[in-house]
Structure 1
Amino acid sequence: MAMIFLGGSRDIFELPVPAIERIGAIVAAEHGVLIGDAPGADAEMQSLLAGYNYDHVGVFHARAEPRNNLGDWAAYHIPPPVGTRGFAVHAGKDREMARRADFGLMIWDGATPGTCLNVLRLALIGSPCVIYDTMRGRVATVQSTADWRALLHSAGTDVRREVEARMTADERLALEG
C-alpha cells in the first residue's frame, strides 16, 4: 500500500474538481493517507475522505489533540520542541508526514509557504507530488528539487522570501547539494 501525504493551504475551503477525483482514485486504490489537522484544505480533504467512510487515514497533529479529525481516524501526535511558536509548531508534523510518504498531493493557493515547503520535503526524498495551484489554475507534478525551484520561481519574490525564511538549515543544505 502506497502512502500519500495530502496537504494544502489553510485558506482553501473548496477543493478543485480534479483533486476531488484524484482523492477518489486514492480511495479506490486503497492507498494509505497521511493528513494534517489544519482548517482549510486539510479539513476539506478529511471531510471528503470521511464521506467515503475511508479507513486508511492517519491524522498528524502538533497540539495535544487534533484540531480536526473528521473520520475519527488514528491520530499521531508529533509535539513541537519546547518554546516553538507560530508556523514552526506544525512544521515537525509536516516533516514527519513527508518522511513517511511515497507520494504527495497538495492543494496550494500559490502563496502560502508551508504547502510549498511540504512539496520541497517530498522532493528532497524523491517522493513525487502533484500540486493543484488554485491561484494560477494549473496542475504540476514535482519530482525533483529542480521542479520545486521552478514552482517556487513562479510564486514570486515575496513567497520565495517567506519560504526561504522558514527552511531549516538541513533543507537549505540539501538544496545546495
Structure 2
Amino acid sequence: MTMIFLGGSRDIFELPVPVIERIGAIVATEHGVLIGDAPGADAEMQGLLAGYNYEHVGVFHAGPEPRNNLGDWAAYPVPPPHGAEGFAAHASKDREMARRADFGLMVWDGASPGTCLNVLRLVMKGSPCVVCDTMRGMMATVRDTMDWRAVLQHADPEVRRAVEARMSENERLVLEA
C-alpha cells in the first residue's frame, strides 16, 4: 500500500480546496495515511478523513496519548529523546513518518519551520511532496533539495534561520553536498 505523509502548519485551521480534493483522491484510491496529532492542519486533515470514515490512517504522537485522534485510528507513539521539549519533542515522530512515507502532502503557511523540514525529510529519501503554500496561494511538487531550496527562498529570513536552527546534522549535510 502506498503511504502518504499528511501534515502542515499548526496555525492553519481551514484547509484549502485543492488540499481537500487531494485528500478525497487519497481516500478514493485507498492509500495509507501517516499523520501527526497536532492542532491546526493535522487536526483539520484528521477531521476530513474521519468524515469519510476512512480506515487506512495511522496517527503518530510523541506524548503518552495522541493530542488528536479524531477517527480513533491506530496510534503510533514515537517517544522523544530524553529531555527534548517543544519542537524537538515532536521531531522524532515527524522523522519516522517521513521515513515510512512514499509521498507527502503538506499545507504550509510560509512560516512553520516544522512543516518545511518535513518536506526536506521526504525529498531527502526520494519521496516527492506536494506543498500547498497558503502564504503565496500556490501548490508545487517538491522532488529534490533544489526544489526545496526554491520553496524556502520565498520565506522570510527569520523563518529560514528557524529552519536551519532546527535541522539535524544529517539534514545539514545533505544540503551542503
**TM-score category of the 2 structures, normalised to the smaller one:** over 0.9
Asked if 1:123 corresponds to 2:119, the answer is: no
Structure 2 counterparts to residues 51-62 of structure 1, below 5 A: 51-62=51-62
Q: Which residue of 1 aligns with 2:101?
A: 101
- Structure 2, unpaired ranges of 5+: none
Q: Which residue of 1 aligns with 2:142?
A: 142
Q: Which residue of 1 aligns with 2:112?
A: 112
Q: In structure 2, what residue type is equivalent to 1:43?
A: A
- CA offsets per residue over residues 101-130 of structure 1, 9 Å max, x none? 000000110111000000000010010000
Q: Which residue of 2 aligns with 1:43?
A: 43
- CA offsets per residue over residues 61-89 of structure 1, 9 Å max, x none? 00000000000000000000110011000
Q: In structure 1, what residue type is equivalent to 2:103?
A: F
Q: In structure 2, what residue type is equivalent to 1:135?
A: M
| In structure 2, C-alpha distance between the alignment counterparts of 1:69 and 1:51, rounded to whole Å | 13
Asked if 1:25 corresponds to 2:28, the answer is: no
Q: Which residue of 2 aligns with 1:163?
A: 163
The normalised TM-score by structure 2 is 0.99
Q: Which residue of 1 aligns with 2:9?
A: 9
Alignment identity in percent? Answer: 79
Count of matched residue positions in the alignment of Structure 1 and Structure 2: 177
Q: In structure 2, what residue type is equivalent to 1:101?
A: A
| In structure 2, C-alpha distance between the alignment counterparts of 1:31 and 1:153, rounded to whole Å | 31
Segments of 4+ in structure 1 off by > 6 A?
Answer: none
| In structure 2, C-alpha distance between the alignment counterparts of 1:17 and 1:103, rounded to whole Å | 19
| In structure 1, C-alpha distance between the alignment counterparts of 2:59 and 2:86, rounded to whole Å | 20
| In structure 1, C-alpha distance between the alignment counterparts of 2:61 and 2:86, rounded to whole Å | 14
**Local SS of the residue matching 1:155:** coil
Shift of 1:174: 1.5
| In structure 1, C-alpha distance between the alignment counterparts of 2:71 and 2:148, rounded to whole Å | 32
**Local SS of the residue matching 2:154:** helix
**Local SS of the residue matching 2:18:** helix
Shift of 1:20: 0.1
Shift of 1:57: 0.1
- CA offsets per residue over residues 17-39 of structure 1, 9 Å max, x none? 01000000000000000000000
Shift of 1:156: 2.4
| In structure 1, C-alpha distance between the alignment counterparts of 2:157 and 2:40, rounded to whole Å | 24
